[in-house]
């Protein structure tokens, strides 16, 4: 999406300047690109009368590949290699689609164990989640080691040894600190530690991955990765064992497709980041497509679920037996309710009026 210089002046356009100053392919320009292109995908799927995942699943491989920019990643994945992956994915595709429609895509919950929750709240939320059939849980860590040990022991005792536990540090630690801290939490058998250090530190993630491998702990990251190039390098450096795409951080469906295909080549499971701000609604389409047409595997794979703010969307996610059920409505599930938009519109919406009035007082 590169513009030419201003006509008649030879000076760079404002777009080119913006690309250099706050890009390229990262920051606000990239996020804006993702928003616009995700909207285009939503319209395309609605035009075809299909949910987005089905639009992608039914698409001819060559047509799908025409949506991907392979620039900067051909040293890892060429278009022909991607075509071979999609061709192999044709085998058993109908059976996997039927499996998704019947059982859905496995999810994990992040809603039980945020930092700052009291022990009583943790117990209550874990008890409710277990009753609802959840078997995969993520706990936030990194503020205080002794508190983490206590909270992780509480949760592990509640969910039992057979259920899956993950940990998320949200970029808290330096590299040596991450290794030392997680060595102390290894007794609770976490499947992964998520974002242990700066999301830009590829070699740091590689060092942590190497150090924690003997403890059976993988490294997961990706929700803050700017673009496909960062993911390429994380894969090349063996810096992650679980890859976490985000439907809005990357440059829309197009760029996520390239990352799904790279992950398949490296045989790294994709476990998407999601949240209760519409990210669950979006990313379910990508991961369902990944299973049906690309990875063909559910081993060590799950999609994050946060039970928050879904009431603002016209087509909220449907969770049954701790799994995402494939959306059936046409589009990308992005459409928000008119009343929610009106209420939160700046500066005249009801929510903003209250906030601004409170600030004046």
Q: How many whole angstroms separate alpha carbon 241 and alpha carbon 212?
A: 11
Q: How many whole angstroms separate alpha carbon 232 and alpha carbon 50?
A: 31
Count the neighbouring beta carbons within 10 Å of the beta carbon of residue 288.
Answer: 27
N residues, the chain: 361
User: Three-class SS of residue 128?
Assistant: helix
Asked if 250 and 34 count as a contact pair (C-beta separation under 8 A), the reply is yes
- CA distances to 66, 113, 185, 197, 302 from 305, in Å: 31, 13, 24, 23, 9
Question: Within 13 Å, how many C-alpha atoms sit on residue 188's CB side?
Answer: 28
Task: List active site positions.
Answer: 140, 273
User: Three-class SS of residue 98?
Assistant: helix
Count the neighbouring beta carbons within 10 Å of the beta carbon of residue 227.
Answer: 21
Q: How many whole angstroms separate alpha carbon 5 and alpha carbon 162?
A: 60
Q: What is the b/e burial string over 62-95, where b = at least 16 CB atoms within 10 angstroms of the residue's CB?
A: eebbebbebeebeebbeeebbeebbeebeeebee
SS3 per residue for 298-333? CCCCCEEECCCCHHHECCCCCEECCEECCCCCCECC
Asked if 150 and 164 count as a contact pair (C-beta separation under 8 A), the reply is no
């Amino acid at each position: 999406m590169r513009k030419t210089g201003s006509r008649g002046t030879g000076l760079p356009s404002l777009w080119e300047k913006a690309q250099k100053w706050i890009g390229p392919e990262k920051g606000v320009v990239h996020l804006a690109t993702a928003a616009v292109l995700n909207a285009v995908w939503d319209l395309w799927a609605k035009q075809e009368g299909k949910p987005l995942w089905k639009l992608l699943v039914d698409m001819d491989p060559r047509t799908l590949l025409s949506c991907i920019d392979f620039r900067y990643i051909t040293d890892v994945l060429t278009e022909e290699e991607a075509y071979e992956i999609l061709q192999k994915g044709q085998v058993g595709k109908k059976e996997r689609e039927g499996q998704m429609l019947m059982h859905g895509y496995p999810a994990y919950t992040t809603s039980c164990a945020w930092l700052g929750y009291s022990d009583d709240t943790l117990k209550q939320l874990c008890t409710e989640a277990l009753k609802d059939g959840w078997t995969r849980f993520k706990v936030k860590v990194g503020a205080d080691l002794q508190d983490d040990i206590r909270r992780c022991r509480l949760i592990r005792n509640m969910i039992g040894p057979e259920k899956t536990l993950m940990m998320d540090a949200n970029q808290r630690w330096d590299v040596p600190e991450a290794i030392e801290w997680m060595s102390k939490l290894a007794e609770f058998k976490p499947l992964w530690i998520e974002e242990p250090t700066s999301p830009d530190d590829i070699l740091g993630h590689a060092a942590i991955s190497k150090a924690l491998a003997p403890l059976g702990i993988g490294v997961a990251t990706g929700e803050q990765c700017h673009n496909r190039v960062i993911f390429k390098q994380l894969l090349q450096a063996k810096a992650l064992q679980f890859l976490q795409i985000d439907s809005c951080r990357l440059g829309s469906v197009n760029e996520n497709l390239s990352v799904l295909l790279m992950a398949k080549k490296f045989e790294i499971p994709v476990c998407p980041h999601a949240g209760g701000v519409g990210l669950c609604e979006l990313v379910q389409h990508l991961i369902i497509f990944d299973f049906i047409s690309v990875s063909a595997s559910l081993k060590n794979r799950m999609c994050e679920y946060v039970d928050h703010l879904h009431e603002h969307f016209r087509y909220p996610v449907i969770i049954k037996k701790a799994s995402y059920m494939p959306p059936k409505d046409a589009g990308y599930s992005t459409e928000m309710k008119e009343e929610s938009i009106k209420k939160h519109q700046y500066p005249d919406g009801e929510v903003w009026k209250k906030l601004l009035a409170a600030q004046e007082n």
